[in-house]
Amino acid sequence: MVAALLNLALLASAVRLTVPILLTALGAVYTERGGVFNIGLEGTMIMGTFFGAAATHAAAQALGGAPSALAPLAGMAAAMGAGVLFSLIHAVMSVTFRVDQLISGVALNLLAVGLARFLNILLFGVATQSPGINGFPPLAIPVLRDIPALEPLATGISPVIPAALALVVAGQWVLRRTVFGLRLRAVGENPHAADTLGIDVARLRYAGVLISGALAGLAGGYLSIEQGRGYLEGMTQGRGFIALAAMIFGNWWPLGALGASALFGYFDALSLRVVAIGVPYQFITVLPHIATILVLAGVVRRATPPAADGVPFTKEEG
């Protein structure tokens, strides 16, 4: 039983499943540090899954169908672009027009489901899935790949995994050490004080939302290109909401979100290996969501969100 819960194949699967949660949680850190609550990240991920798969398929056809890293690279770029454009809707509604941010996010999630289905029918003639695609050539860690015991962790690695870890480290540095990061945090804590210092609150909030859209779109592209090898309706499975929980568990910091995302990724991987441990499948499949509820119940009262998170900003005149 214990061996089944801690074997390296399970851990390697957990690493792969952590990535989409981590990237989306990192995006949530940026938008909420700027003071904009974005529950629409689930919908942004959905857009990333569709446009990532569709662009990869189109690029592969343009390249003659031969496996190439260029096609999935084009797909990832398209997924990020779709995420930025989709999150721009939320930025305009919540920052410019000061619409209730929760309602705007929910509307985006509903729009994403219908839009992805419509576009899939339009392009591929079916409602729920795209044609199969190839992902990036996998990487292997030198030296470690030659150790049999470590082979599951050291081989078959998607290049998106080290990129995601690098983005976490970069995000921690940006928010703590750069002018942009300090100003973004100031806008999320006290936008009126930031405004009196000449900081453009609206521009920084737009930046936070658009960065979150790019990262959530990238997470969706990873799901369809590297894991699903094609778009499948419903493939996000609520990971956008789990990512929000990971962000809260991580206390609105990238490194904290990394640890929380790894926890949720482990439970996600565990739910795929129920046969090996003899636990009823129906129970295991809800483990990621049970973990989310327990984490929020135990952490949310101790977590400290940005003071102006979710509060519309109105510039004071005179």
CB–CB of 26/260 below 8 Å? no
Transcribe 162-214 into DSSP letters: HHHHHHHHHHHHHHHHSHHHHHHHHHHH-HHHHHHTT--HHHHHHHHHHHHHH
Contact residues for 314 (Cβ-Cβ < 8 A; gap 6+): 98
In this prediction, residue 318 has a pLDDT band, given cuts at 50, 70 and 90, of: very low
Give the mean model confidence (pLDDT) for residues 61-67: 82
Extents of the domains making up the chain: 2-132+157-299
Lowest pLDDT segment from 116-130, 215-229, 271-285: 271-285
What is the predicted pLDDT for the residue at 153?
Answer: 79
Note the CATH architecture for domain 2-132+157-299: Orthogonal Bundle (1.10)
In this prediction, residue 299 has a pLDDT band, given cuts at 50, 70 and 90, of: low
Distance separating alpha carbons of residues 163 and 27, to the nearest angstrom: 14
Question: What confidence tens digit (pLDDT) does each residue in 32-56 have?
Answer: 999 999 999 999 999 999 999 999 9
Question: What confidence tens digit (pLDDT) does each residue in 105-164 have?
Answer: 999 999 999 999 999 999 999 989 999 999 999 988 887 777 776 777 778 899 999 999
What is the predicted pLDDT for the residue at 15?
Answer: 92
